[in-house]
Structure 1
Amino acid sequence: MVSTVYAITLVVMALIAAVFCFVLVNSKKVEADYSTVTKKWYGIRGKWFFFLLTLGVIITYLSLSPFPIPDQKKGYQENEYQVVKVDSYQWYWTMTPNTVEAGKPVTFLVTSGDVNHGFGIYDENLELLGQTQAMPGYTNKLIHTFDKPGKYKILCLEYCGVAHHAMITELTVK
């Protein structure tokens, strides 16, 4: 998806550069009937605006549709989900328990004991699966169902001080 958006961005930038060059080259020519040229380019400018607006809406929709946040409003029965309590501190995580079952929804109750932290769950390819904010005095809830067993990394997503880069732990999914 990222490469598609990158390619579209390059094409649009090339089109803008081409229009700029065209205007620059033709600006030196003197036209006797300026009103005809003005009317023509106002029409092109209006069409260009709607093209860019449509392209922007399409790119926004395509880039946000696979957003990796599961449904947080879905209701589960008490026995259907697992609860993991997560506390964050400068510069470590505590999780109770740190092992969960695959295929069963997990509710992460995330809070902080000191400053704001970003709680991010990553798979073995370091792709973000879900995230929420860890804030002092407040508990955020993140629901995620792990499809396959393995080791998942928990990283801090918000700069929290000198050792932020070392704020990593693992969650085992069986």
Structure 2
Amino acid sequence: MTVQNVVWPLALLGIVAVALVFIFVISQARQPATEQETARSTHTAHVIQAWFFGLLVLGFVVGTWLTLRHFPIPLQRGAPLAADVEMDVEGFMWGWTIPDTPIQVGQTVAFRVTSKDVNHDFAIYGPDGNLVAQTQAMPRVLNKLLVTFQQPGEYTVQCLEYCGVGHGFMRTKLTVSKHATGTAPGGTTLGKGGH
């Protein structure tokens, strides 16, 4: 089960809970009340708000832990990365330069990502279309991204940050093989219109 499949239902539940609270408040607002009832309902509203806020904070903490505990972005400075393969990636308007390096299932790849011109977003989508990992590609900055490829197939590298008119064409492919014979596209430099 991917993170996207968990977050969407949780977001819908949150929206429904907020809507129910608003419906309750609106339904209570139509009835005239005495001072005693007003004080009681104010106290009840404060208790509900406190519990609701506490549940939101708890949900945020749990959700953050669940989504970030396997965060693929390593410390950017310090010791060398524990990776089987290192690949230097450079983004530019509107393509990627990726070396010709074989990638196998189970290997951990350290992508060292930068940009030649403007900010881009280096995102890797799996063969099933789900987002595997992503990091920023920025000029004069080297961002490191660790990815362990769990299944063979063709992975799509796509820019997720609008970088100009050719942004939609800024994609390329990585091939992950079961054996040592699979390779990434050699020195791939795809510009506008490339896939």
Query: CA 1:13–1:124 in 2, change beyond 3 Å: closer, same or farther?
Result: same
Provide the rounded CA distance (Å) in 2 between the counterparts of 1:77 and 1:114: 26
- CA RMSD in angstroms comes to 2.2
The aligned counterpart of 1:12 is 18
Aligned residues of 1:152 and 1:173 also touching (Cα < 8 A): yes
Show CA shifts across 1:100-123 (max 9, x none): 122121000101111100001111
Q: Secondary structure at the match of 2:61?
A: helix
Query: CA 1:44–1:19 in 2, change beyond 3 Å: closer, same or farther?
Result: same
The aligned counterpart of 2:47 is 47
What is the deviation of 1:163?
Answer: 0.9
> Does 1:72 find its partner at 2:78?
no
Aligned residues of 2:73 and 2:145 also touching (Cα < 8 A): no
Provide the rounded CA distance (Å) in 1 between the counterparts of 2:33 and 2:133: 59
Show CA shifts across 1:129-161 (max 9, x none): 111110111111101111111111111011000
Moved more, 122-131 or 1-10: 1-10
Could you tell me the percent identity over the aligned residues?
A: 31
What is the deviation of 1:71?
Answer: 5.7
Query: CA 1:71–1:162 in 2, change beyond 3 Å: closer, same or farther?
Result: closer
Show CA shifts across 1:55-114 (max 9, x none): 212332343313462261496777x52011101110001101353122121000101111
Moved more, 69-78 or 98-107: 69-78
Query: CA 1:92–1:71 in 2, change beyond 3 Å: closer, same or farther?
Result: closer
Within the candidate set 108, 127, 131, 1:105 is matched to: 108
Matched residues, number: 167
Query: CA 1:71–1:133 in 2, change beyond 3 Å: closer, same or farther?
Result: closer
Gaps of 5+ in 1: none
Query: CA 1:91–1:71 in 2, change beyond 3 Å: closer, same or farther?
Result: closer
Aligned residue runs from structure 1 range 19-38, under 5 A: 19-23=25-29, 25-26=30-31, 29=32, 31=34, 34=35, 36-38=36-38
- The one-letter amino acid of 1:69's match is F
TM-score, normalised via structure 2 length: 0.77
- The one-letter amino acid of 1:10's match is V
Aligned residues of 1:93 and 1:167 also touching (Cα < 8 A): yes
TM-score, normalised via structure 1 length: 0.85
What is the deviation of 1:30?
Answer: 5.7
The aligned counterpart of 1:163 is 166
The aligned counterpart of 2:181 is none
Aligned residues of 1:119 and 1:154 also touching (Cα < 8 A): yes
Q: Secondary structure at the match of 1:66?
A: helix
Provide the rounded CA distance (Å) in 2 between the counterparts of 1:86 and 1:115: 14
The aligned counterpart of 2:96 is 93
Which structure has the bigger radius of gyration? Answer: 1
Q: Secondary structure at the match of 2:67?
A: coil
Aligned residues of 1:118 and 1:156 also touching (Cα < 8 A): yes
Query: CA 1:125–1:117 in 2, change beyond 3 Å: closer, same or farther?
Result: same
